[in-house]
Amino acid sequence: MDNWSLVGKWIMVAASGVASYLFGGWSGILGTLLFLVAIDYLTGIWAAFILGQLKSKIGLIGIARKVFIFAMVAIGHLVDGVLGDSHLFRDTIAFFYIANELLSIVENGGKLGAPIPPVIRQAVEVLKGKGGDVERGADKQ
């Protein structure tokens, strides 16, 4: 049993070292992002199950998107290191994805039939509309 304990400790040391290098240490912002990513993924699976749209290929793409979020945060930290260790880019990228995950969680809640306050529903629709206009504008050119 001691060997497994030692292996577990080495895994934690390695994971901490990787997190420190890639993200500049762990912060409340990264913890919040991790929590919201997990909640969004779980509510997305739940909503897909309820709607009869649960597919493993779509779930795998969802996991790849979540990994990409943390890759972007890591890239932001590496850029910060080049510019002077300020965490400006890392935190800006993390805040963007936190807002994105919150919107996605609200959308998933709506798909699940949870009551969404009208003001939040309107905000989500406005933000979705603005994103759609940008994408449609890019397609026209």
Q: What is the DSSP secondary-structure string of 37-81?
A: HHHHHHHHHHHHHHHT---HHHHHHHHHHHHHHHHHHHHHHHHHH
Residue 79 maps to a domain: yes
Q: Quote the pLDDT of residue 133.
A: 45
Instruction: Say if 41 falls within a structural domain.
Output: yes
Is-contact 98 33, C-beta < 8 A? yes
Percent of the chain with pLDDT over 70: 91
100 domain-assigned: yes
CB 109, CB 123: distance < 8 Å: no
Decide if 55 is inside a domain. Answer: yes
Is 103:127 a contact under the CB 8 Å cutoff?
A: yes
Q: Which domain holds residue 81?
A: 27-135
Report the pLDDT averaged over residues 96-117: 91
Residue 16 lies in a domain: no
| Domains identified in the chain, total number | 1
Dihedral Cα 97, 72, 30, 47, nearest 10 deg: 50
Share of the chain above pLDDT 90, in %: 50
In a domain, 21, yes or no: no
Predicted pLDDT of residue 124: 78
Give the pLDDT confidence score for residue 71 in this predicted structure: 95
**Residue at 73 is within a domain:** yes
Residue 8 lies in a domain: no
For residue 10, pLDDT over 80 is answered with yes
